[in-house]
Amino acid sequence: MINITPILCRAGTMDNYSYLITDKQSNISALIDPSEVGPIVTVCQAKSIKPQYILNTHHHFDHTDGNLELKKLYNCKVVGNEEDKSRIRGLDISLKKGEIFHIGSSQCQIISVDGHTIGHILYYFADSKALFTGDTLFNLCIGGIFEGTPEQMWNSIQKIKSLPEDTLFYPGHEYTLHAAREALYFSQNDKEVQKYLQTAQSRLAQGLPAGPFTLGEEKRCNPYLSAANYEEFLQRLNY
Ligand code: FE
Ligand code: ZN
């Protein structure tokens, strides 16, 4: 089981979320997608934690920019998809699709989700019911399709939808309010979407992330997950 601390990076511009995770049994910690160094070091110092790993979901700079400096600072290992070997800064440990990686006694499954980039992966901690979705799944929307095809993105979304509904997911950016209008439009102001937004807004007002929400809530409220079929998904992409 892991503890999860979200760390807002690039606040006000890109609104990235990095995450500090700690295996409760061993106290071994890892950083997910260290976007920038400052806010991460502040949190690690306050908690007296020296992370042993950096886990990257994909190669984009706003997810990997802290890799080299944090690696020097904490002497930690950078972990990522073997397909991104040449693109992730300072990569030490290459992962294969479906592989199980361990943070102490916590098991983490590597799920490959091409679309936003080719080589994007998710980190799924089944025991903790936690899924780190990088730039593939956000609250009420999905990541831009930059390197893959819409069909690859659709297949990746179906993989996410097949995970248990009570899984909490942790996205790579805070985009909830930007996505709200679209979600309300496609849901025709469905009550559950309105409730989702109320919860998100009240958490944001307290200085917290909008999430986490469960995959079940997301399947009902996110227009890209609720699309009935591939045709509808394509229509929604062109919204
Ligand atoms: Fe990205
Ligand atoms: Zn990003």
Q: Give the tens place of pLDDT for each residue, 71-121.
A: 999 999 999 999 999 999 999 999 999 999 999 999 999 999 999 999 999
pLDDT in tens, 169-216: 999 999 999 999 999 999 987 899 999 999 999 999 999 999 999 999
Residue 105's domain comprises 2-237
Ligand 1 centroid to 26 CA: how many Å?
A: 31
Q: How far apart are CA 91 and CA 35, in angstroms?
A: 15
Cα–ligand 1 centroid distance for 108 (angstroms): 21
- pLDDT at residue 45 greater than cutoff 80: yes
Which ligand is closest in space to the CA of residue 175?
A: 2
Determine the average pLDDT of the residues in 135-156.
98
Q: How many domains does the chain have?
A: 1
Q: What is the CATH number of the domain that holds 79?
A: 3.60.15.10
Rounded distance from Cα 14 to ligand 2 centre (Å): 8
Residue 238: pLDDT band with limits 50, 70, 90: confident
Cα(144) to centroid(ligand 1), Å: 8
Instruction: Note if the pTM is more than 0.95.
Output: yes
Q: How far apart are the first and last CA of the chain?
A: 39
Q: Quick check: 239 pLDDT over 90? A: no
Sign of CA dihedral 87, 91, 94, 97: negative
Q: Which ligand is nearest to the CA of 13?
A: 2
